[in-house]
Amino acid sequence: GAGVSQTPSNKVTEKGKYVELRCDPISGHTALYWYRQSLGQGPEFLIYFQGTGAADDSGLPNDRFFAVRPEGSVSTLKIQRTERGDSAVYLCASSPRGLAGGPGEQFFGPGTRLTVL
């Protein structure tokens, strides 16, 4: 079956612009995660959805970052007034069960490489 997909694969934008990054999780997966990965670092947690609601958004760096998952499937990460420091690879992962009690294995998409000039 299809894995997690992310679009676009690459995004180049100018400082101050608005960008949207999309994640299509594996069908039926209720949990969805966004991470940010800088060069040479492990992924850094941003936000976690269980269904349509953001169960934990403590990793969002500031209020320029926002994410939605209106129907409990596709999610969009939105970044306003982009800054050069936002440049990174943004990874999405989904999991069949997000709550304690399941195996909790995460399946990752290929990521979107964001470059802010």
Strand ranges inside the chain, DSSP E: 5-7, 10-13, 19-24, 31-37, 44-50, 53-56, 65-68, 75-79, 88-95, 107-108, 112-116
Q: State the nearest-atom distance from the C-beta of 9 to another protein, in Å.
A: 9
**35 forms part of the interface with another protein (CB under 8 A):** yes
User: Among candidates 3, 24, 8, which has minimal Cα distance to 69?
Assistant: 24
One character per residue 4-23, x = contact with another protein (rule: CB under 8 A): x-------------------
Closer to another protein by Cβ: residue 28 or 40: 40
**44 forms part of the interface with another protein (CB under 8 A):** yes
Distance CA 90, CA 114 (A): 7
Closer to another protein by Cβ: residue 16 or 102: 102
Instruction: Name the β-bridge partners of 7.
Output: 22
Distance CA 100, CA 109 (A): 23
Closer to another protein by Cβ: residue 18 or 57: 57
Pick from 13, 20, 22, 50 the residue near another protein by CB under 8 A. 50
Catalog residues that contact another protein under the rule CB under 8 A: 4, 31, 33, 35, 40-45, 48, 50, 55-56, 58-59, 91, 93, 95, 98-100, 103-111, 113
